[in-house]
Structure 1
Amino acid sequence: MRLNVSAWAIRRPLAPLVLFMVLLVLGLASFRSFAVTRLPNVDVPVVSVTVTESGAAPAELQGQVTWRVEDAVAGVPGAKHITSTITSLGPCARRA
Protein backbone atom coordinates (compact mmCIF):
# COMPACT_ATOMS: atom_id res chain seq x y z
CA MET A 1 0.00 0.00 0.00
CA ARG A 2 1.38 3.37 -1.05
CA LEU A 3 1.19 6.38 1.27
CA ASN A 4 -0.16 9.35 -0.65
CA VAL A 5 0.12 12.29 1.77
CA SER A 6 -1.30 14.95 -0.54
CA ALA A 7 -4.43 12.90 -1.35
CA TRP A 8 -4.91 12.23 2.38
CA ALA A 9 -4.50 15.94 3.19
CA ILE A 10 -7.06 16.90 0.55
CA ARG A 11 -9.59 14.37 1.88
CA ARG A 12 -9.02 15.36 5.53
CA PRO A 13 -7.89 19.02 5.66
CA LEU A 14 -8.25 19.43 9.43
CA ALA A 15 -4.94 17.75 10.41
CA PRO A 16 -2.74 19.79 8.02
CA LEU A 17 -4.48 23.00 9.09
CA VAL A 18 -3.95 22.23 12.78
CA LEU A 19 -0.30 21.35 12.12
CA PHE A 20 0.13 24.62 10.22
CA MET A 21 -1.42 26.63 13.06
CA VAL A 22 0.79 24.92 15.67
CA LEU A 23 3.93 25.62 13.63
CA LEU A 24 2.80 29.22 13.08
CA VAL A 25 2.27 29.82 16.80
CA LEU A 26 5.61 28.19 17.69
CA GLY A 27 7.40 30.25 15.04
CA LEU A 28 5.88 33.52 16.27
CA ALA A 29 6.73 32.67 19.88
CA SER A 30 10.32 31.86 18.89
CA PHE A 31 10.64 35.07 16.87
CA ARG A 32 9.42 37.22 19.77
CA SER A 33 11.96 35.63 22.13
CA PHE A 34 14.95 36.59 19.92
CA ALA A 35 17.04 39.50 21.15
CA VAL A 36 17.36 41.75 18.11
CA THR A 37 19.26 45.03 18.18
CA ARG A 38 19.62 47.60 15.47
CA LEU A 39 23.32 48.16 16.03
CA PRO A 40 24.87 45.00 17.49
CA ASN A 41 28.25 45.16 19.17
CA VAL A 42 30.53 43.44 16.67
CA ASP A 43 34.28 43.23 17.17
CA VAL A 44 35.97 42.85 13.81
CA PRO A 45 39.56 41.65 14.27
CA VAL A 46 41.07 44.02 11.70
CA VAL A 47 43.49 46.88 12.23
CA SER A 48 44.19 49.32 9.43
CA VAL A 49 47.19 51.63 9.51
CA THR A 50 47.58 54.32 6.86
CA VAL A 51 50.88 56.14 6.47
CA THR A 52 51.21 58.86 3.84
CA GLU A 53 54.34 60.64 2.76
CA SER A 54 54.15 62.80 -0.31
CA GLY A 55 56.98 62.65 -2.78
CA ALA A 56 58.42 59.37 -1.49
CA ALA A 57 59.19 56.45 -3.78
CA PRO A 58 57.62 53.05 -3.01
CA ALA A 59 61.05 51.51 -2.31
CA GLU A 60 61.75 54.31 0.13
CA LEU A 61 58.44 53.78 1.91
CA GLN A 62 59.02 50.06 2.13
CA GLY A 63 62.47 50.37 3.63
CA GLN A 64 61.92 53.28 5.97
CA VAL A 65 58.27 53.03 6.99
CA THR A 66 56.48 49.79 6.11
CA TRP A 67 58.91 47.35 7.70
CA ARG A 68 58.98 49.39 10.93
CA VAL A 69 55.19 49.54 11.10
CA GLU A 70 54.89 45.80 10.36
CA ASP A 71 57.41 44.98 13.11
CA ALA A 72 55.49 47.14 15.60
CA VAL A 73 52.12 45.59 14.66
CA ALA A 74 53.58 42.07 14.82
CA GLY A 75 54.10 42.60 18.56
CA VAL A 76 50.35 43.03 19.13
CA PRO A 77 48.90 39.96 20.88
CA GLY A 78 46.61 37.95 18.58
CA ALA A 79 47.96 39.37 15.31
CA LYS A 80 47.99 36.47 12.85
CA HIS A 81 48.26 37.99 9.38
CA ILE A 82 49.92 41.24 8.43
CA THR A 83 49.71 42.63 4.91
CA SER A 84 50.98 45.88 3.47
CA THR A 85 50.13 47.84 0.36
CA ILE A 86 52.40 50.59 -0.87
CA THR A 87 51.12 53.11 -3.38
CA SER A 88 52.88 56.15 -4.71
CA LEU A 89 51.05 59.38 -5.36
CA GLY A 90 52.16 60.98 -8.57
CA PRO A 91 52.77 64.72 -8.89
CA CYS A 92 49.18 65.30 -10.14
CA ALA A 93 47.58 63.41 -7.24
CA ARG A 94 49.35 65.29 -4.46
CA ARG A 95 47.32 67.61 -2.29
CA ALA A 96 48.56 71.03 -1.37
Structure 2
Amino acid sequence: MEVVVTLQGKVEMELTLVPTAEAKKMPVGMGRNPPNPLPFPKRPDISFSWFRNPWNACCFVVCRYYRGRIICFSLILFLILLLCCAIYAFPGYLVKKLLNA
Protein backbone atom coordinates (compact mmCIF):
# COMPACT_ATOMS: atom_id res chain seq x y z
CA MET A 1 0.00 0.00 0.00
CA GLU A 2 1.42 3.33 -1.07
CA VAL A 3 0.78 6.49 0.93
CA VAL A 4 0.84 9.77 -0.96
CA VAL A 5 1.42 12.88 1.12
CA THR A 6 0.52 16.26 -0.33
CA LEU A 7 1.21 19.62 1.22
CA GLN A 8 -2.15 21.10 2.24
CA GLY A 9 -0.95 24.22 4.04
CA LYS A 10 1.72 25.63 6.30
CA VAL A 11 1.62 26.61 9.95
CA GLU A 12 4.06 28.97 11.60
CA MET A 13 4.69 28.23 15.24
CA GLU A 14 7.18 29.13 17.92
CA LEU A 15 8.50 26.68 20.50
CA THR A 16 10.39 27.77 23.59
CA LEU A 17 12.15 25.28 25.86
CA VAL A 18 12.52 26.47 29.46
CA PRO A 19 13.77 24.82 32.63
CA THR A 20 11.21 23.16 34.92
CA ALA A 21 11.48 25.84 37.62
CA GLU A 22 10.64 28.61 35.14
CA ALA A 23 7.83 26.53 33.62
CA LYS A 24 6.20 26.14 37.06
CA LYS A 25 6.29 29.92 37.57
CA MET A 26 4.46 30.55 34.30
CA PRO A 27 2.06 27.74 33.41
CA VAL A 28 1.09 27.12 29.80
CA GLY A 29 -0.58 30.10 28.20
CA MET A 30 0.13 32.52 31.04
CA GLY A 31 3.52 33.77 29.81
CA ARG A 32 2.45 34.88 26.37
CA ASN A 33 2.36 38.49 25.32
CA PRO A 34 -0.68 39.79 23.46
CA PRO A 35 -0.29 39.84 19.66
CA ASN A 36 1.34 42.90 18.16
CA PRO A 37 -1.20 44.98 16.24
CA LEU A 38 0.04 45.63 12.72
CA PRO A 39 -0.66 48.94 11.00
CA PHE A 40 -3.43 48.87 8.42
CA PRO A 41 -2.17 48.52 4.84
CA LYS A 42 -2.33 51.54 2.56
CA ARG A 43 -4.93 50.54 -0.01
CA PRO A 44 -6.09 52.72 -2.91
CA ASP A 45 -9.51 54.31 -2.76
CA ILE A 46 -10.65 52.77 -6.04
CA SER A 47 -11.04 49.17 -7.03
CA PHE A 48 -8.77 47.88 -9.79
CA SER A 49 -10.93 44.89 -10.57
CA TRP A 50 -11.60 44.77 -14.31
CA PHE A 51 -15.04 43.33 -13.66
CA ARG A 52 -16.20 45.90 -11.10
CA ASN A 53 -14.73 49.07 -12.55
CA PRO A 54 -13.09 48.60 -15.96
CA TRP A 55 -12.87 52.31 -16.82
CA ASN A 56 -10.84 53.26 -13.72
CA ALA A 57 -8.53 50.29 -14.11
CA CYS A 58 -7.97 51.08 -17.80
CA CYS A 59 -7.31 54.76 -17.07
CA PHE A 60 -4.88 53.86 -14.30
CA VAL A 61 -2.88 51.54 -16.53
CA VAL A 62 -3.01 53.55 -19.77
CA CYS A 63 -2.78 57.11 -18.45
CA ARG A 64 0.01 56.28 -16.07
CA TYR A 65 2.44 55.25 -18.80
CA TYR A 66 1.15 56.92 -21.98
CA ARG A 67 -0.30 60.24 -20.77
CA GLY A 68 2.20 62.41 -22.68
CA ARG A 69 1.86 60.42 -25.89
CA ILE A 70 -1.95 60.55 -25.73
CA ILE A 71 -1.90 64.34 -25.25
CA CYS A 72 0.57 64.85 -28.14
CA PHE A 73 -1.42 62.56 -30.45
CA SER A 74 -4.67 64.37 -29.60
CA LEU A 75 -3.09 67.77 -30.22
CA ILE A 76 -1.61 66.70 -33.58
CA LEU A 77 -4.94 65.15 -34.62
CA PHE A 78 -6.77 68.39 -33.71
CA LEU A 79 -4.33 70.48 -35.75
CA ILE A 80 -4.67 68.15 -38.76
CA LEU A 81 -8.47 68.37 -38.59
CA LEU A 82 -8.29 72.16 -38.33
CA LEU A 83 -6.00 72.29 -41.39
CA CYS A 84 -8.36 70.00 -43.34
CA CYS A 85 -11.33 72.26 -42.52
CA ALA A 86 -9.34 75.29 -43.66
CA ILE A 87 -8.38 73.63 -46.94
CA TYR A 88 -12.02 72.58 -47.51
CA ALA A 89 -13.38 76.08 -46.89
CA PHE A 90 -10.59 78.03 -48.68
CA PRO A 91 -11.95 77.81 -52.29
CA GLY A 92 -15.35 79.22 -51.26
CA TYR A 93 -13.79 82.20 -49.48
CA LEU A 94 -11.41 82.77 -52.40
CA VAL A 95 -14.31 82.95 -54.90
CA LYS A 96 -16.15 85.41 -52.65
CA LYS A 97 -13.06 87.64 -52.47
CA LEU A 98 -12.53 87.52 -56.25
CA LEU A 99 -16.16 88.41 -57.03
CA ASN A 100 -16.40 90.99 -54.22
CA ALA A 101 -19.55 89.36 -52.99
TM-score (norm: length of structure 2): 0.27
Structure richer in helix, relative to its length: 2
